[in-house]
Structure 1
Amino acid sequence: MAKIKRRGESGAAKNYITRNQAIKKLQVSLADFRRLCILKGIYPREPLNKKRANKGSSAPATFYYHKDIQYLLHEPLLVKFREHKAFAKKLARAVGRQEWALAKNLEDAKPIARLDHLVKERYPTFTLALQDLQDPLNLIHLFSNLPTNPVPGRTLVPIEVIEGCGRLCSEWKVWAIKTHSLRKVFLGIKGIYYECLVPGQLGEPVRVRWLEGYEFQQHVPHDVDFRILLTFIDLYRTLISFVLYKLYTMENLVYPPPLDRESDERGEGVGAYRLVEQAAPGVSSHISKKQVKRVIQGIVSTSAEDVEMDDSTPITHEVEEEKQDDDFVERPFKGDTEDIISVPLPTYSSLVASSSGKTEDHKLLFEPYTFYLSREVSQRAWEFVIKALGGKVITSLQASSPDQATGADSITHVVCDRPMTTERIRELEGGRKWVWVQPQWVADSVNAGKILSSEEYGPERLLPPHLSPWDGEGELERPWLGIKSGMESQVTTGDDVQLESNESEEEEQQSEVEDHQQSDDEENEEQKEKISRPALSAAAQNPTDLALLHAAELEAETSGIPHSTFQQELKTASKRHISSVGGRVNGKQGEEDLRKIMMTNKKAKLYEKMKYGNAARAEEKDKLEKKRKDIERRNRKNQS
């Protein structure tokens, strides 16, 4: 006899739980529940049938997966939240009774919730942390620009949080300057976009892009809930600290880098941080066996031909052994914990240069030049860009530091962003020869990978268009930068025009010979495409499935294919699939099928219902027309 299922014990009613039920189950407040969900990465879900999920009730509710809430029951942060709640009650009671000594002792023993285990849990590998670094960098740069002065009647972000975000931003830029990892710069409406090449696991580079706002006075809106943003910033600050510790350790540097207060007061920005070697003076040129294995793996993954290893230590065994004891964060090296091998530690530049194929010319683009930044130019932004590519920056014409001892005599370029007359330029040069450019020249030179001509970037000159180096992946041609489209375009000047015309004629002559092989080639291409691009072929066979379409987009993005090219490939693959199953693509039926492919599932069903209704009405019309003709024929026969 089959067991009778009771209502609310299976299906959606068991798989989902409302927010109020989750709060009661966890025994926390609404604010703590929101914070816990943000830190753990748990989000509300939309059930297919809300009434069933809510056990028959149609009242509006927010749903979560029951397994996610069950998972939160074992979170150590719940204990910290309860300890903090008890601490707040004790502190309020001590302050109310004016027991200041007890209040001070309670404040010193305040429970602190650490988020280290959450970072290791959400990002088990270093590469995953780098791939999700864009939003954390955007948010800490945003918080670093917030005003620190309090507003009456409002609670702004604590000054400690703003200063901590500013320090993390500076430490990130110091590392980028040290490793010369900056690759792209774009001046947008919201701010300046940067892209760095960061080494991941085994030396594999990961492109990290972030946005930094301009140096304007920030007006904080009134409708911003800073409690939610502060929860995100707590997690992001912890994540970025982990990443920076790893990156500084890879460069054999001490983290955090010490700050020179005198240089910081003079306004030197990132130049106020001093980089210190991590190893002791006696073992500065030695590393451990574990570090040697990691370096060997990075070299093997990029170019195995350049490494010679002993037969007694196979590479596969070393890789498996390293995966077992490799943690997200590597502790600082101690000479008494592991054996020492006198092998010099390779730098980030050597590993990334070998893996990405980049040369030192791109990284040290501004090495021969010394720039003077005018007072209206953002020193924070352009000092970082110039120094990250090997250039030198002077902010004052007088020698104010050891780095600026040569003064105005060493200046080669002047970056200004205001109208300058010829007389004023000659007066400032004082007999010297400087190259005067606007800030866009620096960004365009970085994106082009070469030093551009300064004629179009002089003061009071109308600047050429400044396009994003990422939108369309270079599909738009930019002749003023010497950059062609993403697909290699043919040069059409001089003798090359004749060469292209001859090639086109030869292609036309061979087209007739290759017509009979077209079907076989299409089948071979289709088979190759299924093997190399399985997600694209699956999406072409069922374009209405959003999950398959999203998987195909991710596959194209991983392969570095622009979105416009992906859309064209998807359209071509869909046509090929329709023709293979007997659809007439070139006819009216083929066009109708293509239109149906681009519809959503709901619209496709509605379209089928409309077609069915139209066919039923047409059939009924034909029957009535046939009856009318029969009646008319019968009447004519009777009259005769």
Structure 2
Amino acid sequence: MRRLKKYQSGEAAQYITRRAALRKLQLSLNDFRRLCIIKGVYPREPKHRRRAQKGSSDIKILYHAKDIRFLLHEPIVWTLRDYKIFAKKTGRDRAIKDFRNLKRRLALYPELRIDHIVKERYPTFIDAIKDLDDCLTLLFLFSTFPSLRLIPRDQSFLCRRLTIEFLHYIISSKSIRKVFISIKGFYFQADIKGQKVTWIMPHHYPFKPHSKAEVDFKVMSIFVEFYTILLGFVNYRLYHSVGYTYPPKFRSEIHNDLQDNFKDELSYVSDRIAALNSDLIFIENELEDEIEIMDLDFLEQSQSSNRIRKLKKEAKELKALRSLFKGLKFYINREVPREPIVILIRSFGGKISWDSTVFVGATYDESDETITHQIVDRPILSKKYISRDYIQPQWVFDCVNKRTLLPTNSYFEGVVLPPHLSPFVDSNRDSYVPPEEHENKNQSDFNQKKSVEENAGCSEKEIIDSSTMDDEQLQIAYMEEKADFEEYGHMQNEEGQNDDDVEVAEKEMQKQQREELSMSVQAGKVHKENKNIRRKNEIDEHRLQARMVKSRHRNLFRKLIREKQVKEKEKWLLKKKRRNIDAQRIPN
């Protein structure tokens, strides 16, 4: 048996550098980067870098050798090599001015198709839905970009079309569950085929080109190239699952690829929102507005199961959430961000419109007397109607998160709004929790407890009555037993037996009565905790924990302690910031 040499087995044989991978695949760096992004192959961090780099201490980019061998069998490698050949031949034709041959070569431009790679990376439809978070966030971002040097207008137009098609499915299926306004943009979470999908819709600002190349738009464009194919497949499957034809046809000019629309960014965004405010046309089967909840009546035999009761409760809440804004008509002013408001109101059964003289896609005018709510963000209005409520945009977001219609008096125009809390954080987290969240949690727990008590009021009364009846019966039985016992002792005394046994029995009876009295509930005493003693106990406990840690795990233990200290410091800073804000609000 031949003996292996050094670095021919183990961790050194499992990794390969990027330069060696380029030589093995015979590709340029740009083509290799594009291939890795499309195939989902990324650099790896070895456990022992010096062993993986065959004794070298430099920091190199390493890949799994198995992944590079996997790329060797990919058919698009030959297409990438054809690009290199195409560039050489067309360059030669331009140099010798052979335009006839150049025209023939341009007609035979190699086309790169990655449909099979999408199917390969996502073998099932649920796998594709699970990976939609980054896909939607990036495509929503690119749909707002104008034409750049490395981003063609066709690509941003395709992103806009795919995102609008996806939003139309979300509106029709009423799938949105949570929303949140942040500095980055608007967070949305939808329930699609039982999977939670979260994405960010950026704020609409006028685009300002950067002088420095801080962002590699070329790499991002490669990701967009893959994600557009993925979202196209997902949209096709989603539309056919609800009975719509794909691709859909909109009533607005969203798909008219005109240069006039590309020059005016305001009309570009207005057409996008107008498409969201209109229904799809050429639909095979209309989706019902009321979606039936899951029938759980077949599980009546196991009513005692908490899981079944929880499922029924969630199903009822979901049915009420789908029709949250049903029967309400909204009108939004020009200063309000229209796109997220339109998505939310139409997703929950409401109707919405705006000024038709400023933006396209309006369905009714401001003078309509059936309008129930008008969304404003400026306290100055020329005319007001008594029949409607004038609210700020945050009311819509908070109603969706609370899953109920909140009172509008806290959201009137010019009123200081309540804090907008994120629904995506864990309520039982160790970090800083705002006091308003504590109040909301306590209020929700109180309401839940109250509803449970109201629903189970009759059963609890029956249980209490039965328990009191049992106690009375026991007391009566006890008195009867005592009388029988005294009568029996009297009979024994009459028969001439010793009275010592009777005295012992009476003492035991008195002892039992004293024990019952001692078991009664008494008022407790307030115990004031000493902070210095508690701090000392925590320090002693921490020292004992440090002594118990083995030497090989000491660095990990120190790292955990440092992370805990950083979290505590952040929590303290946030509390201090909140105290300063509250102090500034208090009038002098």
Q: Flag whether TM exceeds 0.5 (same fold).
A: yes
Moved more, 592-601 or 69-78: 592-601
**8 Å contact from structure 2 (residues 137, 199) kept in 1:** yes
Q: CA deviation at 1:183?
A: 1.4
Q: CA deviation at 1:78?
A: 0.2
**Cross-structure match for 2:168:** 174
For residue 215 of structure 1, the aligned residue among 204, 209, 212 is 204
**Cross-structure match for 1:275:** 280
Q: Work out the percentage of aligned pairs sharing the same amino acid.
A: 33
Q: Deviation digits for residues 214-272 of structure 1, max 9, x if unmatched?
A: 11123344311112111111111111111111110101111221133458888353543
**Cross-structure match for 2:441:** 484
CA distance in 2, matches of 1:372, 1:605: 58
What TM-score do the two structures reach when normalised by structure 2? 0.66
CA distance in 2, matches of 1:40, 1:135: 16
2:335 paired with 1:376: yes
2:390 paired with 1:390: no
The 5 Å alignment of 1:231-310 reads: 231-262=222-253, 267=270, 269-272=272-275, 275-276=280-281, 305=298
**Cross-structure match for 2:404:** 450
Q: Deviation digits for residues 570-604 of structure 1, max 9, x if unmatched?
A: xxxxxxxxxxxxxxx99957862378569982526
**8 Å contact from structure 1 (residues 473, 486) kept in 2:** no
CA distance in 1, matches of 2:71, 2:43: 14
The 5 Å alignment of 1:68-467 reads: 68-148=67-147, 150=148, 155-199=149-193, 205-221=194-210, 222-262=213-253, 267=270, 269-272=272-275, 275-276=280-281, 305=298, 358-396=317-355, 403-404=363-364, 408-420=368-380, 424=381, 427-429=382-384, 432-467=386-421
SS at match of 1:471: coil
SS at match of 2:341: helix
CA distance in 2, matches of 1:213, 1:596: 50
SS at match of 1:410: coil
CA distance in 1, matches of 2:164, 2:539: 62
SS at match of 1:472: coil
**8 Å contact from structure 1 (residues 26, 73) kept in 2:** yes
**8 Å contact from structure 1 (residues 130, 208) kept in 2:** yes
CA distance in 2, matches of 1:393, 1:606: 56
**8 Å contact from structure 1 (residues 370, 391) kept in 2:** yes
CA distance in 2, matches of 1:598, 1:387: 59
SS at match of 1:141: helix
Q: Which amino acid aligns with 1:601?
A: H
CA distance in 1, matches of 2:11, 2:42: 17
SS at match of 2:355: coil
Q: CA deviation at 1:480?
A: 9.2
Structure 1 residues 156 and 408: CA distance shift in structure 2, 3 A: farther
CA distance in 2, matches of 1:458, 1:57: 67
Structure 1 residues 130 and 384: CA distance shift in structure 2, 3 A: same
Q: Which amino acid aligns with 2:340?
A: A
CA distance in 1, matches of 2:550, 2:399: 42
Structure 1, unmatched stretches of 5+, are: 200-204, 286-298, 307-351, 497-584, 608-640
CA distance in 2, matches of 1:586, 1:400: 65
Q: Deviation digits for residues 478-517 of structure 1, max 9, x if unmatched?
A: 8699942599458999xx9xxxxxxxxxxxxxxxxxxxxx
Q: Which amino acid aligns with 2:250?
A: L
Structure 1 residues 415 and 274: CA distance shift in structure 2, 3 A: closer
Q: Deviation digits for residues 599-626 of structure 1, max 9, x if unmatched?
A: 982526999xxxxxxxxxxxxxxxxxxx
SS at match of 2:119: helix
Structure 1 residues 131 and 401: CA distance shift in structure 2, 3 A: closer
CA distance in 2, matches of 1:269, 1:598: 61
Q: CA deviation at 1:411?
A: 1.6
Q: CA deviation at 1:462?
A: 0.4
CA distance in 2, matches of 1:601, 1:126: 43
Structure 1 residues 55 and 477: CA distance shift in structure 2, 3 A: closer
**8 Å contact from structure 1 (residues 258, 274) kept in 2:** no
SS at match of 2:180: strand
**8 Å contact from structure 1 (residues 195, 210) kept in 2:** yes
CA distance in 2, matches of 1:22, 1:487: 58
Q: Which amino acid aligns with 1:484?
A: K
CA distance in 2, matches of 1:137, 1:42: 21
CA distance in 2, matches of 1:407, 1:114: 53
Q: Which amino acid aligns with 1:227?
A: K
SS at match of 1:470: coil
**8 Å contact from structure 1 (residues 477, 485) kept in 2:** no
Q: Deviation digits for residues 69-91 of structure 1, max 9, x if unmatched?
A: 11110011101111222222233
**Cross-structure match for 1:544:** none
Q: Which amino acid aligns with 2:112?
A: A
What TM-score do the two structures reach when normalised by structure 1? 0.61
SS at match of 1:169: helix
Structure 1 residues 238 and 302: CA distance shift in structure 2, 3 A: farther
**8 Å contact from structure 1 (residues 478, 484) kept in 2:** no
Q: Which amino acid aligns with 1:174?
A: H
Q: Which amino acid aligns with 1:592?
A: L
Q: Which amino acid aligns with 1:373?
A: I
Moved more, 432-441 or 80-89: 80-89
Structure 2, unmatched stretches of 5+, are: 256-260, 262-266, 287-291, 300-310, 454-536, 560-588
SS at match of 1:409: coil
Q: Which amino acid aligns with 2:208?
A: H
Q: CA deviation at 1:212?
A: 0.9
Count of equivalent residues: 439
**8 Å contact from structure 2 (residues 419, 436) kept in 1:** no
CA distance in 2, matches of 1:90, 1:250: 47
Q: Which amino acid aligns with 2:235?
A: L
Structure 1 residues 251 and 458: CA distance shift in structure 2, 3 A: same
Q: CA deviation at 1:44?
A: 1.4
SS at match of 2:83: helix
**Cross-structure match for 1:30:** 29
Q: Which amino acid aligns with 2:207?
A: Q
Structure 1 residues 224 and 396: CA distance shift in structure 2, 3 A: same
2:35 paired with 1:44: no
Q: Which amino acid aligns with 2:441?
A: K
**8 Å contact from structure 1 (residues 80, 113) kept in 2:** yes
SS at match of 1:240: helix
CA RMSD of aligned residues (A): 3.9
Moved more, 476-485 or 367-376: 476-485
